[in-house]
Chains A and B, each alone.
Chain A
Amino acid sequence: MGELSSIWRESSHRYRLVGHKCGNCGTVYFPPRDICIKCHRESIGKISECNLSGKGEIVSFTIVHDVPPAFARQRPYAMALIKLEEGPILTAQIVDSDMDEIEIGRKVSAVFRRIREDGKSGLIQYGYKFVLDG
Protein backbone atom coordinates (compact mmCIF):
# COMPACT_ATOMS: atom_id res chain seq x y z
CA MET A 1 0.00 0.00 0.00
CA GLY A 2 1.26 3.47 -0.84
CA GLU A 3 2.28 5.17 2.37
CA LEU A 4 4.89 7.53 0.96
CA SER A 5 3.67 10.76 2.47
CA SER A 6 3.07 9.24 5.89
CA ILE A 7 6.64 7.93 5.94
CA TRP A 8 7.93 11.40 5.12
CA ARG A 9 5.63 13.03 7.70
CA GLU A 10 6.71 10.72 10.51
CA SER A 11 10.42 10.65 9.68
CA SER A 12 11.63 12.87 12.55
CA HIS A 13 9.69 10.80 15.08
CA ARG A 14 10.78 7.49 13.61
CA TYR A 15 14.38 8.42 12.77
CA ARG A 16 15.30 10.46 15.84
CA LEU A 17 12.69 9.40 18.41
CA VAL A 18 11.24 12.90 18.67
CA GLY A 19 8.22 12.99 20.98
CA HIS A 20 5.80 15.66 22.06
CA LYS A 21 5.64 17.46 25.39
CA CYS A 22 2.67 19.25 26.93
CA GLY A 23 3.71 22.79 27.93
CA ASN A 24 0.89 22.89 30.47
CA CYS A 25 1.60 19.78 32.60
CA GLY A 26 4.93 18.55 31.25
CA THR A 27 3.73 15.07 30.20
CA VAL A 28 5.85 13.56 27.43
CA TYR A 29 4.15 11.65 24.61
CA PHE A 30 5.50 9.07 22.23
CA PRO A 31 4.06 8.37 19.70
CA PRO A 32 3.39 12.09 19.40
CA ARG A 33 -0.02 13.57 20.21
CA ASP A 34 -1.36 16.96 19.19
CA ILE A 35 -3.42 17.35 22.34
CA CYS A 36 -2.60 16.41 25.93
CA ILE A 37 -4.89 13.67 27.26
CA LYS A 38 -4.78 15.24 30.73
CA CYS A 39 -5.04 18.96 29.94
CA HIS A 40 -7.27 18.75 26.85
CA ARG A 41 -8.01 22.30 25.55
CA GLU A 42 -5.58 23.84 28.04
CA SER A 43 -2.80 22.23 26.00
CA ILE A 44 -3.81 23.70 22.64
CA GLY A 45 -0.86 25.60 21.20
CA LYS A 46 1.39 24.42 24.04
CA ILE A 47 2.57 21.10 22.60
CA SER A 48 6.23 21.15 21.55
CA GLU A 49 8.69 18.62 20.22
CA CYS A 50 11.11 16.98 22.61
CA ASN A 51 14.02 14.59 22.09
CA LEU A 52 13.91 11.27 23.89
CA SER A 53 16.96 9.50 25.26
CA GLY A 54 16.09 6.12 23.75
CA LYS A 55 16.71 4.43 27.10
CA GLY A 56 14.02 2.20 28.49
CA GLU A 57 13.02 -1.20 29.80
CA ILE A 58 10.98 -4.12 28.50
CA VAL A 59 7.40 -4.29 29.81
CA SER A 60 6.51 -7.37 27.78
CA PHE A 61 7.68 -9.08 24.60
CA THR A 62 6.99 -11.83 22.09
CA ILE A 63 8.85 -13.70 19.38
CA VAL A 64 6.83 -13.32 16.18
CA HIS A 65 6.86 -16.36 13.86
CA ASP A 66 3.83 -15.62 11.66
CA VAL A 67 4.87 -12.37 9.98
CA PRO A 68 3.46 -9.95 7.38
CA PRO A 69 5.08 -9.93 3.90
CA ALA A 70 7.16 -6.77 4.57
CA PHE A 71 8.95 -8.65 7.40
CA ALA A 72 9.41 -12.01 5.66
CA ARG A 73 13.23 -11.75 5.68
CA GLN A 74 13.38 -10.94 9.41
CA ARG A 75 11.35 -13.96 10.58
CA PRO A 76 11.34 -14.75 13.48
CA TYR A 77 11.79 -11.44 15.28
CA ALA A 78 11.24 -10.08 18.77
CA MET A 79 8.62 -7.39 19.44
CA ALA A 80 8.39 -5.59 22.75
CA LEU A 81 6.46 -3.01 24.69
CA ILE A 82 9.17 -0.68 25.96
CA LYS A 83 8.75 1.91 28.72
CA LEU A 84 11.05 4.85 27.99
CA GLU A 85 12.75 6.60 30.90
CA GLU A 86 10.77 9.76 30.06
CA GLY A 87 7.53 7.83 30.71
CA PRO A 88 5.90 6.86 27.41
CA ILE A 89 5.55 3.21 26.32
CA LEU A 90 6.06 2.26 22.67
CA THR A 91 5.97 -0.86 20.50
CA ALA A 92 9.22 -1.82 18.75
CA GLN A 93 11.48 -4.69 17.75
CA ILE A 94 14.41 -5.96 19.81
CA VAL A 95 17.37 -6.75 17.50
CA ASP A 96 21.06 -7.71 17.58
CA SER A 97 20.44 -9.58 20.82
CA ASP A 98 20.25 -13.21 21.88
CA MET A 99 16.49 -13.90 21.91
CA ASP A 100 16.90 -16.22 24.91
CA GLU A 101 18.19 -13.28 26.95
CA ILE A 102 15.13 -11.08 26.36
CA GLU A 103 13.22 -10.72 29.62
CA ILE A 104 10.59 -8.49 31.17
CA GLY A 105 12.45 -5.74 33.06
CA ARG A 106 15.63 -5.83 30.91
CA LYS A 107 17.11 -2.41 30.06
CA VAL A 108 17.24 -1.53 26.37
CA SER A 109 18.52 1.28 24.13
CA ALA A 110 17.21 2.61 20.82
CA VAL A 111 19.15 2.09 17.60
CA PHE A 112 18.49 3.23 14.02
CA ARG A 113 17.62 0.34 11.71
CA ARG A 114 15.84 -0.76 8.54
CA ILE A 115 12.26 -1.49 9.68
CA ARG A 116 10.57 -3.04 6.65
CA GLU A 117 10.73 -3.36 2.90
CA ASP A 118 7.82 -3.36 0.48
CA GLY A 119 8.96 -6.09 -1.91
CA LYS A 120 11.95 -6.18 -4.28
CA SER A 121 11.47 -2.80 -5.92
CA GLY A 122 9.52 -1.23 -3.06
CA LEU A 123 10.49 1.32 -0.47
CA ILE A 124 12.86 0.47 2.35
CA GLN A 125 11.62 2.13 5.51
CA TYR A 126 13.80 3.06 8.47
CA GLY A 127 13.22 3.85 12.11
CA TYR A 128 13.92 2.81 15.68
CA LYS A 129 14.52 -0.66 17.05
CA PHE A 130 16.03 -1.54 20.42
CA VAL A 131 18.99 -3.61 21.65
CA LEU A 132 19.50 -5.18 25.07
CA ASP A 133 21.90 -3.18 27.25
CA GLY A 134 25.07 -5.10 28.11
Chain B
Amino acid sequence: MRSSRRKSFLVRTLTDVYIVGSGETKYGELWEKSLRELAVEAGLKAVEDAGIYSKDIQILYGSSSLAGSINGQNDIGSLIADFSGLASSNIPALRIEASSASGAAAVREAYLAVRSGEYDVAMVGGVEKMTDIYGSETLDLIGTTLDREWEWFMGATPAAMAAMTARKYMKDFKVEKESLAMVSVNDHENASKNPNAHFRNRLTLEGAMGATMIADPLNMMDCSPMSDGASAIVLASDRYVKAHKLDGVKIVSSGISQDYLALHSRESFYRLNSTAIAGRTALSKAGIKASDVSFLELHDSYSIYALIELEDLGFAEKGQANQLVGDDIKLNGSIPVNPSGGLKAKGNPMGATGIGQFVEAYLQFMGKADGRQVKSPKYGMLHNMAGTGSTSLVHIVGGA
Protein backbone atom coordinates (compact mmCIF):
# COMPACT_ATOMS: atom_id res chain seq x y z
CA MET B 1 0.00 0.00 0.00
CA ARG B 2 2.68 2.36 1.07
CA SER B 3 4.89 1.67 -1.93
CA SER B 4 2.04 2.02 -4.45
CA ARG B 5 1.10 5.37 -2.97
CA ARG B 6 4.67 6.48 -3.20
CA LYS B 7 4.82 5.32 -6.78
CA SER B 8 1.71 7.24 -7.79
CA PHE B 9 3.29 10.33 -6.30
CA LEU B 10 6.45 9.84 -8.26
CA VAL B 11 4.77 9.35 -11.63
CA ARG B 12 2.60 12.43 -11.24
CA THR B 13 3.46 14.96 -13.92
CA LEU B 14 2.53 18.59 -14.13
CA THR B 15 0.98 19.83 -17.34
CA ASP B 16 1.89 22.99 -19.19
CA VAL B 17 -0.75 25.72 -19.02
CA TYR B 18 -1.74 28.01 -21.90
CA ILE B 19 -3.79 31.15 -22.23
CA VAL B 20 -6.11 30.26 -25.12
CA GLY B 21 -8.34 33.31 -25.21
CA SER B 22 -8.80 36.76 -23.74
CA GLY B 23 -11.61 39.28 -23.40
CA GLU B 24 -11.78 42.74 -21.99
CA THR B 25 -14.17 45.65 -21.62
CA LYS B 26 -13.02 49.17 -22.10
CA TYR B 27 -11.53 50.54 -18.87
CA GLY B 28 -12.86 53.90 -17.69
CA GLU B 29 -15.90 55.60 -16.20
CA LEU B 30 -18.58 53.31 -17.57
CA TRP B 31 -21.71 54.68 -15.91
CA GLU B 32 -24.08 52.84 -18.22
CA LYS B 33 -22.70 49.40 -17.28
CA SER B 34 -23.18 47.41 -14.08
CA LEU B 35 -20.74 45.17 -12.23
CA ARG B 36 -22.30 42.05 -13.69
CA GLU B 37 -22.61 43.45 -17.21
CA LEU B 38 -18.90 44.24 -17.22
CA ALA B 39 -17.95 40.79 -15.90
CA VAL B 40 -20.12 38.97 -18.40
CA GLU B 41 -18.94 41.11 -21.35
CA ALA B 42 -15.29 40.28 -20.67
CA GLY B 43 -16.02 36.62 -19.96
CA LEU B 44 -18.03 36.01 -23.10
CA LYS B 45 -15.45 37.77 -25.25
CA ALA B 46 -12.76 35.48 -23.79
CA VAL B 47 -14.80 32.34 -24.46
CA GLU B 48 -15.51 33.47 -28.01
CA ASP B 49 -11.86 34.37 -28.57
CA ALA B 50 -10.73 30.96 -27.30
CA GLY B 51 -13.02 29.19 -29.75
CA ILE B 52 -14.55 27.07 -27.01
CA TYR B 53 -18.08 26.91 -25.61
CA SER B 54 -19.15 28.01 -22.14
CA LYS B 55 -19.96 24.38 -21.30
CA ASP B 56 -16.28 23.50 -21.84
CA ILE B 57 -15.27 25.54 -18.80
CA GLN B 58 -14.58 23.24 -15.86
CA ILE B 59 -13.74 25.75 -13.13
CA LEU B 60 -14.09 29.50 -12.77
CA TYR B 61 -12.13 31.97 -10.67
CA GLY B 62 -13.51 35.46 -10.23
CA SER B 63 -11.56 38.34 -8.78
CA SER B 64 -12.67 41.64 -7.36
CA SER B 65 -11.20 43.74 -4.62
CA LEU B 66 -14.06 46.04 -3.68
CA ALA B 67 -17.33 44.57 -4.99
CA GLY B 68 -18.37 43.69 -1.45
CA SER B 69 -17.80 47.25 -0.27
CA ILE B 70 -18.78 49.38 -3.29
CA ASN B 71 -21.55 47.29 -4.81
CA GLY B 72 -22.60 45.28 -1.76
CA GLN B 73 -22.07 42.13 -3.80
CA ASN B 74 -20.01 39.18 -2.69
CA ASP B 75 -19.64 35.66 -4.14
CA ILE B 76 -18.42 37.15 -7.42
CA GLY B 77 -17.52 33.67 -8.67
CA SER B 78 -21.17 32.61 -8.64
CA LEU B 79 -22.28 35.96 -10.06
CA ILE B 80 -20.01 35.63 -13.07
CA ALA B 81 -20.84 31.95 -13.61
CA ASP B 82 -24.58 32.59 -13.31
CA PHE B 83 -24.85 35.53 -15.69
CA SER B 84 -22.46 33.95 -18.16
CA GLY B 85 -25.05 31.20 -18.44
CA LEU B 86 -23.02 28.64 -16.53
CA ALA B 87 -25.24 28.16 -13.48
CA SER B 88 -26.68 24.91 -14.83
CA SER B 89 -23.17 23.56 -15.39
CA ASN B 90 -22.75 23.67 -11.61
CA ILE B 91 -18.97 24.10 -11.93
CA PRO B 92 -16.83 25.28 -9.02
CA ALA B 93 -16.69 29.08 -9.01
CA LEU B 94 -14.77 31.07 -6.41
CA ARG B 95 -13.72 34.66 -5.83
CA ILE B 96 -10.06 35.26 -5.03
CA GLU B 97 -9.22 38.40 -3.09
CA ALA B 98 -5.79 39.90 -2.45
CA SER B 99 -6.54 43.62 -2.55
CA SER B 100 -5.12 45.21 -5.68
CA ALA B 101 -3.30 41.93 -6.49
CA SER B 102 -6.58 39.98 -6.67
CA GLY B 103 -6.37 39.57 -10.45
CA ALA B 104 -3.01 37.84 -10.66
CA ALA B 105 -3.83 35.87 -7.50
CA ALA B 106 -6.92 34.48 -9.26
CA VAL B 107 -4.88 33.64 -12.38
CA ARG B 108 -2.36 31.84 -10.18
CA GLU B 109 -5.07 29.70 -8.56
CA ALA B 110 -6.47 28.80 -11.99
CA TYR B 111 -2.95 28.10 -13.28
CA LEU B 112 -2.29 25.72 -10.36
CA ALA B 113 -5.67 24.01 -10.84
CA VAL B 114 -4.87 23.28 -14.48
CA ARG B 115 -1.18 22.61 -13.92
CA SER B 116 -1.98 19.97 -11.34
CA GLY B 117 -3.97 18.01 -13.91
CA GLU B 118 -7.23 18.34 -11.98
CA TYR B 119 -8.91 20.56 -14.60
CA ASP B 120 -8.33 21.06 -18.33
CA VAL B 121 -10.12 24.36 -18.88
CA ALA B 122 -10.37 27.24 -16.42
CA MET B 123 -11.88 30.69 -16.79
CA VAL B 124 -10.49 33.65 -14.83
CA GLY B 125 -12.47 36.86 -14.76
CA GLY B 126 -11.75 40.04 -12.83
CA VAL B 127 -14.09 42.97 -12.44
CA GLU B 128 -14.31 46.25 -10.58
CA LYS B 129 -17.09 48.82 -10.65
CA MET B 130 -15.54 51.80 -8.88
CA THR B 131 -17.67 54.72 -10.09
CA ASP B 132 -20.98 53.64 -8.55
CA ILE B 133 -20.23 55.79 -5.48
CA TYR B 134 -18.67 59.22 -5.01
CA GLY B 135 -14.93 59.49 -5.61
CA SER B 136 -14.21 60.45 -2.00
CA GLU B 137 -16.06 57.33 -0.82
CA THR B 138 -14.07 55.20 -3.25
CA LEU B 139 -10.90 56.79 -1.89
CA ASP B 140 -12.02 55.68 1.55
CA LEU B 141 -12.48 52.12 0.30
CA ILE B 142 -9.18 51.83 -1.56
CA GLY B 143 -7.77 52.46 1.92
CA THR B 144 -8.65 48.79 2.50
CA THR B 145 -5.39 48.02 0.67
CA LEU B 146 -3.55 49.44 3.70
CA ASP B 147 -3.47 48.44 7.38
CA ARG B 148 -6.95 49.69 8.24
CA GLU B 149 -6.31 50.18 11.97
CA TRP B 150 -2.82 51.68 12.01
CA GLU B 151 -2.38 53.45 8.66
CA TRP B 152 -5.78 54.32 7.20
CA PHE B 153 -7.30 55.20 10.61
CA MET B 154 -4.67 57.90 11.11
CA GLY B 155 -5.44 59.56 7.78
CA ALA B 156 -3.12 57.67 5.44
CA THR B 157 -4.26 56.98 1.89
CA PRO B 158 -2.54 54.68 -0.62
CA ALA B 159 -1.23 57.82 -2.37
CA ALA B 160 0.11 59.17 0.93
CA MET B 161 2.02 55.95 1.59
CA ALA B 162 3.47 55.96 -1.94
CA ALA B 163 4.35 59.64 -1.47
CA MET B 164 6.33 58.93 1.71
CA THR B 165 8.20 56.17 -0.11
CA ALA B 166 8.84 58.58 -3.00
CA ARG B 167 10.15 61.38 -0.78
CA LYS B 168 12.63 59.13 1.00
CA TYR B 169 13.69 57.43 -2.24
CA MET B 170 14.22 60.74 -4.04
CA LYS B 171 16.24 62.14 -1.11
CA ASP B 172 18.43 59.08 -0.50
CA PHE B 173 19.24 58.47 -4.18
CA LYS B 174 19.08 62.08 -5.39
CA VAL B 175 16.40 61.23 -7.94
CA GLU B 176 14.48 64.11 -9.52
CA LYS B 177 10.70 64.22 -9.68
CA GLU B 178 10.96 64.22 -13.50
CA SER B 179 12.07 60.57 -13.39
CA LEU B 180 8.75 59.61 -11.77
CA ALA B 181 6.77 61.73 -14.22
CA MET B 182 8.42 59.98 -17.18
CA VAL B 183 6.84 56.69 -16.12
CA SER B 184 3.41 58.29 -16.52
CA VAL B 185 4.38 59.93 -19.82
CA ASN B 186 5.38 56.48 -21.15
CA ASP B 187 2.13 54.92 -19.88
CA HIS B 188 0.04 57.56 -21.66
CA GLU B 189 2.03 57.20 -24.88
CA ASN B 190 1.35 53.44 -24.96
CA ALA B 191 -2.28 53.81 -23.87
CA SER B 192 -2.88 56.17 -26.78
CA LYS B 193 -2.53 53.03 -28.93
CA ASN B 194 -4.79 50.86 -26.75
CA PRO B 195 -8.51 51.19 -27.61
CA ASN B 196 -9.51 49.76 -24.21
CA ALA B 197 -7.45 52.22 -22.17
CA HIS B 198 -9.07 54.59 -19.66
CA PHE B 199 -6.96 57.53 -20.84
CA ARG B 200 -5.84 57.68 -24.46
CA ASN B 201 -4.44 61.21 -24.41
CA ARG B 202 -0.70 61.74 -24.71
CA LEU B 203 0.91 63.40 -21.73
CA THR B 204 3.82 65.83 -21.89
CA LEU B 205 6.49 65.98 -19.20
CA GLU B 206 5.35 69.52 -18.37
CA GLY B 207 1.76 68.32 -18.09
CA ALA B 208 2.83 65.48 -15.82
CA MET B 209 4.91 67.79 -13.62
CA GLY B 210 2.27 70.49 -13.28
CA ALA B 211 -0.80 68.48 -12.30
CA THR B 212 -2.91 68.96 -9.16
CA MET B 213 -1.14 67.80 -6.00
CA ILE B 214 -2.54 64.60 -4.41
CA ALA B 215 0.04 63.75 -1.73
CA ASP B 216 3.23 65.76 -2.03
CA PRO B 217 5.47 64.98 -4.01
CA LEU B 218 2.93 62.89 -5.98
CA ASN B 219 0.42 64.72 -8.14
CA MET B 220 -2.58 63.44 -10.07
CA MET B 221 -0.38 62.34 -12.99
CA ASP B 222 1.58 60.04 -10.64
CA CYS B 223 -1.57 58.23 -9.53
CA SER B 224 -3.57 55.53 -11.29
CA PRO B 225 -7.25 56.37 -11.74
CA MET B 226 -10.32 54.69 -10.29
CA SER B 227 -11.57 52.71 -13.28
CA ASP B 228 -14.52 50.51 -14.06
CA GLY B 229 -13.64 47.51 -16.14
CA ALA B 230 -13.34 43.77 -16.50
CA SER B 231 -10.77 41.41 -17.99
CA ALA B 232 -10.95 37.68 -18.55
CA ILE B 233 -8.76 34.89 -19.86
CA VAL B 234 -9.30 31.21 -20.56
CA LEU B 235 -6.59 28.75 -19.50
CA ALA B 236 -6.22 25.25 -20.90
CA SER B 237 -3.94 22.28 -20.31
CA ASP B 238 -1.35 21.10 -22.80
CA ARG B 239 -3.38 18.03 -23.73
CA TYR B 240 -6.57 20.05 -24.23
CA VAL B 241 -4.76 22.55 -26.45
CA LYS B 242 -3.34 19.72 -28.57
CA ALA B 243 -6.59 17.75 -28.75
CA HIS B 244 -8.57 20.79 -29.87
CA LYS B 245 -5.81 22.37 -31.96
CA LEU B 246 -6.00 25.67 -30.09
CA ASP B 247 -3.50 28.52 -30.32
CA GLY B 248 -2.15 29.54 -26.97
CA VAL B 249 0.42 31.50 -25.03
CA LYS B 250 2.19 29.58 -22.29
CA ILE B 251 2.22 30.67 -18.67
CA VAL B 252 5.82 29.66 -18.01
CA SER B 253 5.96 30.27 -14.27
CA SER B 254 4.25 31.87 -11.30
CA GLY B 255 5.75 33.48 -8.19
CA ILE B 256 3.99 34.93 -5.17
CA SER B 257 5.26 36.38 -1.91
CA GLN B 258 4.13 38.50 1.04
CA ASP B 259 5.59 41.19 3.23
CA TYR B 260 4.38 43.05 6.32
CA LEU B 261 0.89 44.49 5.75
CA ALA B 262 1.84 48.00 6.92
CA LEU B 263 4.65 49.99 5.34
CA HIS B 264 5.92 51.12 8.77
CA SER B 265 6.71 47.51 9.74
CA ARG B 266 9.08 46.93 6.80
CA GLU B 267 12.85 47.05 7.00
CA SER B 268 13.01 49.39 3.99
CA PHE B 269 10.47 51.84 2.58
CA TYR B 270 11.78 51.54 -0.96
CA ARG B 271 12.60 47.86 -1.20
CA LEU B 272 9.60 45.69 -2.10
CA ASN B 273 10.60 42.35 -0.61
CA SER B 274 7.45 40.60 -1.80
CA THR B 275 8.12 41.80 -5.35
CA ALA B 276 11.79 40.84 -5.27
CA ILE B 277 11.06 37.34 -3.98
CA ALA B 278 8.10 36.72 -6.33
CA GLY B 279 10.26 37.94 -9.22
CA ARG B 280 13.21 35.72 -8.34
CA THR B 281 10.87 32.74 -7.92
CA ALA B 282 9.22 33.31 -11.29
CA LEU B 283 12.54 33.77 -13.10
CA SER B 284 14.11 30.75 -11.44
CA LYS B 285 11.11 28.48 -12.12
CA ALA B 286 11.18 29.63 -15.75
CA GLY B 287 14.93 29.03 -15.90
CA ILE B 288 15.58 32.47 -17.38
CA LYS B 289 17.27 35.74 -16.41
CA ALA B 290 15.83 39.24 -16.26
CA SER B 291 17.77 40.02 -19.43
CA ASP B 292 15.70 37.39 -21.29
CA VAL B 293 12.49 39.37 -20.67
CA SER B 294 11.16 41.22 -23.73
CA PHE B 295 8.56 43.40 -22.01
CA LEU B 296 7.21 44.18 -18.56
CA GLU B 297 3.76 44.93 -17.26
CA LEU B 298 4.40 46.63 -13.90
CA HIS B 299 1.95 47.45 -11.12
CA ASP B 300 2.51 51.20 -11.21
CA SER B 301 -0.48 52.23 -9.14
CA TYR B 302 1.79 55.19 -8.26
CA SER B 303 4.66 56.24 -10.53
CA ILE B 304 7.33 55.76 -7.83
CA TYR B 305 6.54 52.05 -7.66
CA ALA B 306 7.56 51.51 -11.31
CA LEU B 307 11.10 52.69 -10.53
CA ILE B 308 11.34 50.58 -7.39
CA GLU B 309 9.89 47.54 -9.15
CA LEU B 310 12.40 47.82 -12.00
CA GLU B 311 15.10 47.62 -9.34
CA ASP B 312 13.59 44.86 -7.22
CA LEU B 313 12.78 42.74 -10.29
CA GLY B 314 16.43 42.86 -11.36
CA PHE B 315 16.44 45.41 -14.20
CA ALA B 316 18.42 48.10 -12.36
CA GLU B 317 20.52 48.55 -9.23
CA LYS B 318 18.76 50.12 -6.24
CA GLY B 319 18.32 53.84 -6.77
CA GLN B 320 19.26 53.70 -10.46
CA ALA B 321 16.02 52.92 -12.30
CA ASN B 322 15.91 56.59 -13.32
CA GLN B 323 18.52 55.65 -15.92
CA LEU B 324 15.90 53.47 -17.65
CA VAL B 325 12.91 55.81 -17.72
CA GLY B 326 14.21 57.94 -20.60
CA ASP B 327 14.34 55.66 -23.63
CA ASP B 328 14.76 52.10 -22.34
CA ILE B 329 11.18 51.68 -21.11
CA LYS B 330 9.66 52.92 -24.38
CA LEU B 331 7.89 50.51 -26.71
CA ASN B 332 10.99 50.28 -28.93
CA GLY B 333 13.45 50.53 -26.03
CA SER B 334 15.66 47.86 -24.45
CA ILE B 335 13.02 46.85 -21.89
CA PRO B 336 9.54 48.09 -22.86
CA VAL B 337 7.41 48.83 -19.77
CA ASN B 338 3.61 48.69 -19.82
CA PRO B 339 2.85 48.36 -23.54
CA SER B 340 -0.80 48.27 -22.41
CA GLY B 341 -0.58 51.76 -20.94
CA GLY B 342 -0.08 50.50 -17.39
CA LEU B 343 -2.17 51.29 -14.34
CA LYS B 344 -1.77 55.04 -14.85
CA ALA B 345 -3.25 55.21 -18.36
CA LYS B 346 -4.81 51.86 -19.29
CA GLY B 347 -6.46 52.17 -15.90
CA ASN B 348 -6.75 50.44 -12.56
CA PRO B 349 -10.04 48.56 -12.03
CA MET B 350 -8.44 46.83 -9.06
CA GLY B 351 -9.72 43.24 -9.27
CA ALA B 352 -9.40 43.27 -13.08
CA THR B 353 -6.00 44.97 -13.28
CA GLY B 354 -3.83 41.88 -12.82
CA ILE B 355 -5.87 39.88 -15.33
CA GLY B 356 -5.68 42.80 -17.76
CA GLN B 357 -1.90 42.31 -17.75
CA PHE B 358 -2.43 38.74 -18.99
CA VAL B 359 -4.82 40.03 -21.66
CA GLU B 360 -2.08 42.38 -22.84
CA ALA B 361 0.55 39.63 -22.81
CA TYR B 362 -1.75 37.32 -24.76
CA LEU B 363 -2.33 40.00 -27.41
CA GLN B 364 1.41 40.74 -27.59
CA PHE B 365 2.38 37.10 -28.17
CA MET B 366 -0.47 36.51 -30.62
CA GLY B 367 0.73 39.54 -32.59
CA LYS B 368 -2.59 41.31 -32.04
CA ALA B 369 -1.37 44.38 -30.12
CA ASP B 370 -1.60 46.64 -33.19
CA GLY B 371 0.15 50.01 -32.76
CA ARG B 372 1.67 49.02 -29.41
CA GLN B 373 3.08 45.68 -30.58
CA VAL B 374 6.45 44.78 -29.04
CA LYS B 375 8.72 43.38 -31.75
CA SER B 376 9.01 39.56 -31.60
CA PRO B 377 8.72 39.15 -27.83
CA LYS B 378 10.34 36.11 -26.22
CA TYR B 379 9.19 36.38 -22.60
CA GLY B 380 6.83 38.81 -20.87
CA MET B 381 6.98 39.51 -17.13
CA LEU B 382 3.75 40.50 -15.38
CA HIS B 383 3.82 42.10 -11.93
CA ASN B 384 0.73 42.70 -9.79
CA MET B 385 0.93 44.03 -6.23
CA ALA B 386 -1.35 44.59 -3.25
CA GLY B 387 -1.33 48.02 -1.62
CA THR B 388 2.15 49.21 -0.69
CA GLY B 389 3.66 45.78 -1.39
CA SER B 390 2.04 43.43 1.14
CA THR B 391 1.51 40.80 -1.58
CA SER B 392 3.18 40.55 -4.98
CA LEU B 393 2.72 38.16 -7.86
CA VAL B 394 5.06 37.79 -10.80
CA HIS B 395 4.29 35.62 -13.83
CA ILE B 396 6.43 34.81 -16.84
CA VAL B 397 4.52 34.19 -20.08
CA GLY B 398 5.55 33.29 -23.62
CA GLY B 399 8.71 31.34 -24.33
CA ALA B 400 7.42 29.45 -27.36
Contact = CB atoms under 8 A, between A and B. Distances in A.
A67 B215 CA distance: 9
Interface centre among A65, A72, A77 (most CB of B within 10 A): A65
A22 to B, nearest CB: 15
Interface string B255-297: 0000000111100010000000000000000000000000000
B262 A31 contact: yes
A104 B168 contact: yes
A71 B155 contact: yes
Interface residues of B, number: 36
A104 B171 contact: yes
Contacts of A10: 149
Interface stretch (B13-21, B48-56, B132-140, B313-321): B132-140
Interface of B: 136-137, 139-140, 143, 147, 149-157, 159-161, 163-165, 167-168, 171, 212-218, 262-265, 269
B63 to A, nearest CB: 23
B269 A59 contact: yes
Interface string A85-112: 0001111110000000000100000000
B154 A60 contact: no
A63 B215 contact: yes
A71 B159 CA distance: 15
A2 B105 CA distance: 29
A3 to B, nearest CB: 8
A66 B156 contact: no
A62 B140 contact: no
10 contacts: A59-B168, A60-B167, A64-B160, A66-B215, A68-B155, A81-B164, A81-B263, A81-B269, A91-B161, A115-B153
B136 A68 contact: yes
Contact of B155 (A65, A77, A90): A77
Interface in A16-56: 31
Contacts of A88: 264
Contacts of B212: 65
Interface of A: 6, 10, 31, 59-72, 74, 77, 79-81, 88-93, 104, 115-116, 125, 127
A2 to B, nearest CB: 13
B153 A66 contact: no
Given A62-B215, A63-B216, A69-B136, A90 B150 contact: yes
A65 B140 contact: no
Contacts of A127: 153-154
A6 B150 CA distance: 12
Given A31-B149, A60-B164, A60-B168, A67 B157 contact: yes
B155 A62 contact: no
A116 B148 CA distance: 14
Contacts of B152: 68
B165 A115 contact: no
B395 to A, nearest CB: 29
B167 A115 contact: no
Q: Which 9 A-B pairs have the closest CB atoms?
A: A62-B163, A60-B168, A60-B164, A63-B216, A31-B150, A68-B140, A89-B264, A66-B214, A62-B215
A48 B262 CA distance: 22
A125 B139 CA distance: 19
A79 B136 contact: no
Contacts of A69: 136-137, 140
B155 A64 contact: yes
Given A60-B165, A62-B167, A91 B262 contact: yes
Contacts of A74: 155
A31 B153 CA distance: 12
B149 A62 contact: no
Given A62-B167, A64-B160, A91-B264, A116 B155 contact: yes
Contacts of B161: 91
A118 B18 CA distance: 49
A62 B137 contact: no
B168 to A, nearest CB: 4
Given A6-B149, A68-B136, A81-B264, A61 B164 contact: yes
Contact of B139 (A59, A68, A92, A115): A68
A114 B159 CA distance: 22
A99 to B, nearest CB: 9
B141 to A, nearest CB: 9
Contacts of B150: 31, 90-91
A106 to B, nearest CB: 13
